[in-house]
């Protein structure tokens, strides 16, 4: 029982880390990366569809993405979706190829992105602590039902705390890496 609770907590905490990585991919740095456009939705014959399902997104050079829609008719819709997204990107079209240059980040926008990254990291920490709380509540329920002793409960809570500390440290490490990435000129 105790091992199942710890294993479940560990898996849920890992999902928080995975979610943090996903959210960090949306925060752009000065370099071009196809995942920057992951959040862009295109009106594909009446339904909103992720851009990577209607077009091929590639890196042309360190500061430029190329987007090639599968269908010629989708070029203006894809371009409009990129412009209306809140990414601050300004694409230019040449035939069927849409080039998306990455603007240089100003000191102000870098600080804004760092603030956003810290907010995402704090959300991940809160999620990890919520998982810890749930695991501890499950352990208390086992104690109340007399399925485990108080010593076993205390020991299991200590182990859950160690797991929590490990994941919080990993979140801090990922945040530090992202901040360093954002501050590179």
Residue ranges and CATH numbers for the domains of the chain are: 2-26+106-183 (1.10.132.20), 34-101 (3.30.1360.40)
- What does the alpha-carbon distance between residue 143 and residue 2 come to, in Å, rounded to a whole number? 11
pLDDT given at position 22: 84
DSSP SS3 for 30 = coil
Q: How confident is the model at residue 148 (pLDDT cuts 50, 70, 90)?
A: confident
Whole-angstrom Cα distance, residue 61 to residue 58? 9
Distance CA 179, CA 185 (A): 12
Orientation angle between helical segments 150-183 and 2-26, nearest 10 degrees: 10
- The residue-averaged pLDDT of 130-157 equals 90
The model's pLDDT over 103-141, given as tens digits with 9 standing for 90+, comes to 777 788 788 888 888 999 999 999 999 999 999 999 899
Task: Look at residue 28 in the predicted model and tell me its pLDDT.
Answer: 65
Which tens digits make up the pLDDT trace of 47-86? 888 888 888 888 888 788 888 998 888 888 888 888 888 7
Residue 68, token pair as written in the block: 């090639």
Q: What is the pLDDT averaged over residues 135-149?
A: 89
Res 121: pLDDT: 93
Q: Is the pLDDT assigned to residue 10 strictly greater than 80? A: yes
DSSP 52-102: GGTEEEEEEETTEEEEEESSGGGHHHHHHHHHHSTT----EEETTEEEEEP
For 21-45, the pLDDT digits (tens) are: 888 877 766 677 777 787 788 888 8
């Amino acid at each position: 029982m105790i091992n199942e609770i710890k294993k479940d907590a560990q898996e849920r905490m890992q999902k928080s880390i995975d979610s943090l990585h996903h959210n960090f991919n949306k925060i752009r740095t000065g370099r071009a990366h196809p995942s920057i456009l992951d959040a862009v939705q295109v009106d594909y014959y009446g339904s909103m569809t992720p851009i990577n399902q209607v077009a091929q997104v590639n890196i042309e050079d360190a500061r430029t993405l190329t987007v090639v829609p599968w269908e010629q008719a989708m070029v203006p819709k894809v371009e409009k979706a990129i412009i209306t997204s809140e990414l601050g990107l300004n694409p230019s079209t040449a035939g069927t190829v849409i080039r998306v240059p990455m603007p240089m980040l100003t000191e102000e926008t870098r600080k804004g992105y760092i603030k956003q990254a810290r907010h995402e990291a704090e959300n991940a920490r809160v999620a990890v602590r919520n998982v810890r709380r749930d695991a501890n509540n499950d352990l208390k329920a086992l104690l109340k039902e007399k399925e485990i002793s108080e010593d076993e409960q205390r020991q299991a809570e200590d182990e859950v705390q160690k797991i929590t500390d490990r994941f919080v440290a990993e979140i801090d490490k990922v945040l530090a890496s992202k901040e360093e990435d954002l501050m590179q000129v």
